[in-house]
Structure 1
């Protein structure tokens, strides 16, 4: 609609004026969603290939068919519930990919094992569905509930990721339904004609992998205390290692553009601001790889996307938006930009930003000083700034009150002015009309209200030297008199041009960011600065609070943890209802903390921060752990009830779960690879 209207207006444009596109969210969304759909298709293809390789042609095709039906069915329900195709909803499908095939794998594995033991296909299918349908349902509900705190979160993170929980609920419940209904039906068709030959070893677990796993399991179980001690040691080591993992909130986007906030000294005229912005803009346009540059002086751009927060109106502020041809050249160009501005405009305070994916977008680190006296607030802020400047990892250090500005204040001669019938308010209105302008009315354009401002011509209002010769109307004399006749002189003083308040209290915010082109995260820098800043002695009535990414992350976690206890209690109760006891659920839940071993090791090895996306992966992993544990314990009980000893029951049950667990893990890993930034940057636009 917008493009069509612009095309219609093209012929009405004055010569020399061009309309250029700064950012088109529909196009970016289309690229991102297209990339996600392609990666989802590739992930599904990878999963099917893995299944074909490890489970054979018929089993692989069967599970692949069930997976495709589940994904397509999820799309149908998404359409019905008006859930759009976007990064979060499609990402939920990728996260659930391993769990989607797990239900079908359990059923197919049970049918294969049953037929190898001499049962008919119908009998094997009936037995495995009867045996696993309720454990699989309970495990699936638990896996879905693990993500409920995100879907039910009331903060901006919950709003941003709300569809994650909904899509997971739809897809996982659909996978359970297809596993117990369509999978046995298609198994009877796919496995028709597949018979066990006479004299063939009917033991389904006599393969090399099963034999080696059985020996390893036997070794660990016969040395149970040593195994438990080793696991506890690894868990403690991983918990310690977790304290050294970088922390982050949301990653940046791979959209090939960056923004630069430009701050000149407070009090700078907007024309001087615009002049310097033009110089920087021309330099950027000369650089290789730059496709478009947009500059705005006085305030930020219109809010062109959800995660962009425009700056308010300040004459000394400007913003430059630079779009490049490829994301790969972005960092190198930003480095050259940084050097150019530092060498040519040392008076400029600037901040480089990439497009953010999630909530936030302001300064990564914010220290807020709250109190009553502006002078004391600035004194404390100066100490905070000194601490930040002393840290080599802190950049873009500034505060929101900016520099104090010089003010020339005419002194009103009240006794003399009274003779002319002039009040202090009259002089203030006159000076305001003569320079900055005074609102004298409102112009209504439909629902839009615009102020009508009256002031002198530009030539007259920029020359302060003529202020004494300016003439003001005297009601008593009915004529204009020189302004000098009602003035005692001038007073030059410094004042705060900006005073920010929170809850009606003065608040000065000192801001900083980690190096955008470095490897350090905001959490690491915050941890280093926090103890030093909190050691500053605050006068009575003054306090310090933290904002920025620390506050955003804390708010998200607080909202998350408000619902998480009830969610996990519900998950635990489901396991209790499944087994009708407490002992078995405790065994299952004791495996969940062990996931930290793999998570901490992987993040430390790859030097990857633990952010919101990593949290999603951890929740997914917890759901898979609980699901595997429930099915395993259920199988152990069945083996014991059939007359086997507890030791043999554990071994036999564990062997029966080797292939399903390995398949679910391998398919999840390989399916998620296509979503990594290094393989598909379009997903993170």
Structure 2
């Protein structure tokens, strides 16, 4: 059936002469919907979008490549002027990210192995480097077995764990080198080193894993987003211990050789060890002062932490950004589309913009985890903008946020950058809940005034938006009943005189095309026209003038969007952070005033936005931390079967905050959620190094070495493993510095571990001497300062 065929249909009773054809009283045409539910354009040309999602057990890169190949073959069958253009290709993004991270991983391995060869010699460095390479390959194998995909988080976890992966192998190799330097055979040196260090290293490894357990056990969206980090670190650290106690001794027997010198020579001679021995001689005599200084530095660092910028997740380095456009609520979609055409031309004229996808009426299909599509709304529009260089986005966004509001005074326009991590909705958001919409509007307006007065909030708005104008027919009930008409008939007449009354449908294959009956466009231009129409009366069997049924058409303002939270009316006042501020700084600038707003009884207030997302993530993490720390504490106590040694380990953990604060302040990076994970991992790294040192002191004391000498010699014997472990971890973080997601975590670990290494080498011996009441001998020979190590 065609429009022409419909026009040929005749109306009237069968067989009667008075039948008329539809074409005699109406015109039938096939047109686009006057009020489309959504309008989509790409670079100014009409388009429709198609989204393809991979199954959870399939490789995104393979699926994306297969889809791209299939689309390429379909191009030949497309009509002229029809093109297929990708808006977002996740498989390309993932492939580039994985390739970049594999390169970073290779660089990290090369840096670590190179540093080990320079400091330990090429043979020892080759032993540790080979163990490290095996650990990485075995970890990748188990990632495949357990279905852990290679992506930014999982591969980043390998780089984060890089320094920790070599710790176990360094300790084993160092023990073998020292044993062989003292004249022992390679087999004996390997056996003794493995038997004396394997259990302490296992305990230290498990403690290192449990430092990351909070994120692994967190049930919220952030925990889901970062779970692979915990999984990969768990696998890699366990593999590093297994390979260190099995493969490393074997490789050591094959590659390591005893030095060609007198076996009675002290392996801890040299300026490096002499300087450290002299430092220990000084700090052990001023141990109370040293502890007070370290505690003072820690307190100052905690206070200085308030100067560090705070953020939830950093901005993404994907070369996309959004332009959000909102006309007054109730605006016709065609009016919104007309303004969006002007906006898209302005954006397309920008130098570094390559593609612009325009969406009017609602957002796009969800194409990435961090994209939060807008619900259907005729007054809403969005541009998805692709640029040639992601580094140009911040400056462009700042300029557009400043200039666009003047170009579109009747609309709310804002530019939003993509961020890593789950979406938080807005930088700053406060919710008011209660029964009366009028009171809620007043509270939200008060919050918006505070936003504007502060000068730190951009694009203040509410999620209820503006009230809409509703034209309501006031029906005369008695006259309607007398005329035999119904409200349904009046509603049909109103639809016929405005948007059109659906009277049928046309089927073309699988497609259903609605048929609407309506007045010509020139007669659908106001309420007065509707008042002149007639409504059908079943009782009278004829049409009755609307004027006999409707007293008047009354315009009034109504709430078009009423949001509820926990079944209670809730309005949210939203805003963005000024370009030179973080979301946390913008939030703090208005928090006190908004919390001081008076609220009637029965009305509540709570914060949303990035503050809520960050707080929820940290709260969820905090709920899991006690379990992780309990396991860490239990292991540390079981390892020593005493209390004072574990106490030493836990006393030095908070002191690592100094290096973290210095690193973040120096680089200007914010303290993000990933930086928090980095700080938590520091506790595991620091305790792992401290365990090895404390264990060595205990061993020497158990072998009969004098207590003071055991503290000195035990610390000196662990100097190189601790320095190497910290150094390799720090250098292994270098490839992560350019990455926006991991930069703050890398700086946190690098700065924290640099200072934590000093704590391990200075604070641990001092605390050990204090807790065990070990004092220097009253009379010391020269050897007390520069003497030999034993054990």
What is the TM-score normalised by the length of structure 1? 0.94
What are the equivalent positions in structure 2 for 1:378-393 lying under 5 Å apart? 378-393=441-456
Computed over aligned residues only, the root mean square deviation of the Cα atoms, in angstroms, reads 2.5
Q: 2:379 aligns with which of 304, 316, 319?
A: 316
Q: 1:244 aligns with which of 307, 314, 317?
A: 307
2:518 matched residue in structure 1: 456
Q: 2:149 aligns with which of 56, 79, 84?
A: 84
- Secondary structure of 1:595 counterpart: helix
Q: 1:187 aligns with which of 252, 255, 260?
A: 252
- Identify if the C-alpha distance between structure 1 residues 466 and 134 changes in structure 2 by more than 3 Å, giving closer, same or farther: same
1:530 matched residue in structure 2: 591
Mean alpha-carbon deviation: is it higher for 281-290 or for 369-378? 281-290
- Identify if the C-alpha distance between structure 1 residues 56 and 272 changes in structure 2 by more than 3 Å, giving closer, same or farther: same
Instruction: Establish whether residue 57 from structure 1 lines up as the match of residue 122 from structure 2.
Output: yes
What are the equivalent positions in structure 2 for 1:493-504 lying under 5 Å apart? 493-504=556-567
Q: 1:483 aligns with which of 527, 546, 550?
A: 546
CA drift at 1:412: 0.8
CA drift at 1:76: 0.8
1:302 matched residue in structure 2: 365
Instruction: Establish whether residue 638 from structure 1 lines up as the match of residue 699 from structure 2.
Output: yes
User: In structure 2, what is the Cα distance between the partners aligned to 1:433 and 1:505?
Assistant: 37
Mean alpha-carbon deviation: is it higher for 460-469 or for 246-255? 460-469
- Identify if the C-alpha distance between structure 1 residues 339 and 244 changes in structure 2 by more than 3 Å, giving closer, same or farther: closer
1:377 matched residue in structure 2: 440
2:261 matched residue in structure 1: 197
Q: Which has the higher contact order (CA 8 A, sep 6+)?
A: 1
What is the TM-score normalised by the length of structure 2? 0.82
What are the equivalent positions in structure 2 for 1:125-274 lying under 5 Å apart? 125-192=190-257, 194-198=258-262, 202-274=265-337
Q: 1:24 aligns with which of 71, 75, 89?
A: 89
Instruction: Establish whether residue 345 from structure 1 lines up as the match of residue 411 from structure 2.
Output: no
CA drift at 1:320: 0.4
User: In structure 1, what is the Cα distance between the partners aligned to 2:672 and 2:326?
Assistant: 31
CA drift at 1:93: 0.6
> Does the 8 A contact of 1:74 with 1:174 survive in 2?
yes
1:354 matched residue in structure 2: 417
User: In structure 2, what is the Cα distance between the partners aligned to 1:356 and 1:6?
Assistant: 30
> Does the 8 A contact of 2:473 with 2:554 survive in 1?
yes
> Does the 8 A contact of 2:664 with 2:744 survive in 1?
no
- Identify if the C-alpha distance between structure 1 residues 275 and 110 changes in structure 2 by more than 3 Å, giving closer, same or farther: same
- Identify if the C-alpha distance between structure 1 residues 680 and 431 changes in structure 2 by more than 3 Å, giving closer, same or farther: closer
- Identify if the C-alpha distance between structure 1 residues 338 and 346 changes in structure 2 by more than 3 Å, giving closer, same or farther: same
1:492 matched residue in structure 2: 555
User: In structure 2, what is the Cα distance between the partners aligned to 1:470 and 1:444?
Assistant: 31
> Does the 8 A contact of 2:430 with 2:574 survive in 1?
yes
- Identify if the C-alpha distance between structure 1 residues 440 and 240 changes in structure 2 by more than 3 Å, giving closer, same or farther: farther
Mean alpha-carbon deviation: is it higher for 29-38 or for 346-355? 346-355
- Secondary structure of 2:192 counterpart: helix
What are the equivalent positions in structure 2 for 1:651-662 lying under 5 Å apart? 651-662=712-723
1:363 matched residue in structure 2: 426
CA drift at 1:2: 2.4
CA drift at 1:408: 2.0
- Identify if the C-alpha distance between structure 1 residues 112 and 442 changes in structure 2 by more than 3 Å, giving closer, same or farther: farther
- Secondary structure of 2:531 counterpart: coil
Unaligned runs of 5+ in 1: none
User: In structure 1, what is the Cα distance between the partners aligned to 2:360 and 2:744?
Assistant: 32
1:672 matched residue in structure 2: 733
- Secondary structure of 1:615 counterpart: helix
User: In structure 2, what is the Cα distance between the partners aligned to 1:308 and 1:35?
Assistant: 23
Mean alpha-carbon deviation: is it higher for 334-343 or for 123-132? 334-343
1:564 matched residue in structure 2: 625
Mean alpha-carbon deviation: is it higher for 533-542 or for 8-17? 8-17
User: In structure 2, what is the Cα distance between the partners aligned to 1:439 and 1:120?
Assistant: 95
> Does the 8 A contact of 1:254 with 1:682 survive in 2?
no
> Does the 8 A contact of 2:672 with 2:744 survive in 1?
no
User: In structure 2, what is the Cα distance between the partners aligned to 1:453 and 1:136?
Assistant: 77
1:106 matched residue in structure 2: 171
User: In structure 2, what is the Cα distance between the partners aligned to 1:644 and 1:538?
Assistant: 71
- Identify if the C-alpha distance between structure 1 residues 657 and 451 changes in structure 2 by more than 3 Å, giving closer, same or farther: farther
CA drift at 1:662: 1.3
2:639 matched residue in structure 1: 578
> Does the 8 A contact of 2:405 with 2:412 survive in 1?
no
> Does the 8 A contact of 2:536 with 2:543 survive in 1?
yes
> Does the 8 A contact of 1:32 with 1:683 survive in 2?
no
What are the equivalent positions in structure 2 for 1:412-451 lying under 5 Å apart? 412-432=475-495, 434-435=497-498
> Does the 8 A contact of 2:277 with 2:712 survive in 1?
yes
User: In structure 1, what is the Cα distance between the partners aligned to 2:621 and 2:259?
Assistant: 52
CA drift at 1:453: 8.5
User: In structure 1, what is the Cα distance between the partners aligned to 2:251 and 2:319?
Assistant: 47
CA drift at 1:470: 2.2
- Identify if the C-alpha distance between structure 1 residues 543 and 283 changes in structure 2 by more than 3 Å, giving closer, same or farther: same
Instruction: Establish whether residue 548 from structure 1 lines up as the match of residue 609 from structure 2.
Output: yes
Instruction: Establish whether residue 47 from structure 1 lines up as the match of residue 112 from structure 2.
Output: yes
- Secondary structure of 1:588 counterpart: helix
Mean alpha-carbon deviation: is it higher for 57-66 or for 457-466? 457-466
- Secondary structure of 1:291 counterpart: strand
- Secondary structure of 2:365 counterpart: coil
CA drift at 1:285: 1.8
- Identify if the C-alpha distance between structure 1 residues 288 and 162 changes in structure 2 by more than 3 Å, giving closer, same or farther: same
- Identify if the C-alpha distance between structure 1 residues 405 and 95 changes in structure 2 by more than 3 Å, giving closer, same or farther: same
- Secondary structure of 1:84 counterpart: coil
The ranges of structure 1 where at least 4 consecutive aligned residues each deviate by more than 6 angstroms after the TM superposition are: 437-446, 448-453, 678-684
- Secondary structure of 1:243 counterpart: helix
1:648 matched residue in structure 2: 709
- Secondary structure of 2:335 counterpart: helix
CA drift at 1:508: 0.4
CA drift at 1:6: 2.3
